[in-house]
Homo-oligomer: A and B are copies of this chain.
């Protein structure tokens, strides 16, 4: 899915929810959408500065915060980076990420079975999950065969 159609989809979601998809937020959204892999907040800020010279850390973190809340973007905790979600709309979906340590490629998986397994395991321990982080590091298809 290309950046433009992702943007349109996001605009639609915001319209339906009454969320304000402002200029900065759109700019950051597009920068993320045009990235193939994950990107750090300060790298993103550097890119944003080419469009808005006055941008500061708070600018990018606020935008990322908004985009995360809408479910457009996921934070990758283990590498302090952010990545565009390609299945947003079904908001708050559980996320499983496969992160290649060789090439940096990140694949987002959506396994409801897996989510259920985690929930069940938690319930066995009397624990109720509100948010889950599943990040697998290793070697992707391309990098393994090399």
Contact = CB atoms under 8 A, between A and B. Distances in A.
A139 B133 contact: no
Q: How many copies does the complex hold?
A: 2
Contacts of A128: 138-139, 144
A3 interface: no
What range describes how many residues of A lie at the interface? 20 to 34
A5 B96 CA distance: 37
Given A122-B138, A133-B78, A137-B132, A127 B98 contact: yes
A65 to B, nearest CB: 16
A77 interface: yes
Given A78-B77, A78-B133, A141 B121 contact: no
Closest 7 CB pairs of A and B: A126-B141, A129-B138, A130-B138, A133-B135, A77-B77, A131-B137, A77-B78
13 contacts: A98-B127, A100-B127, A114-B118, A114-B121, A126-B140, A126-B144, A127-B138, A127-B139, A128-B139, A132-B136, A133-B133, A133-B134, A133-B137
Interface of A: 77-78, 96, 98, 100-101, 107, 109, 111, 113-114, 117-118, 121-122, 125-141, 144
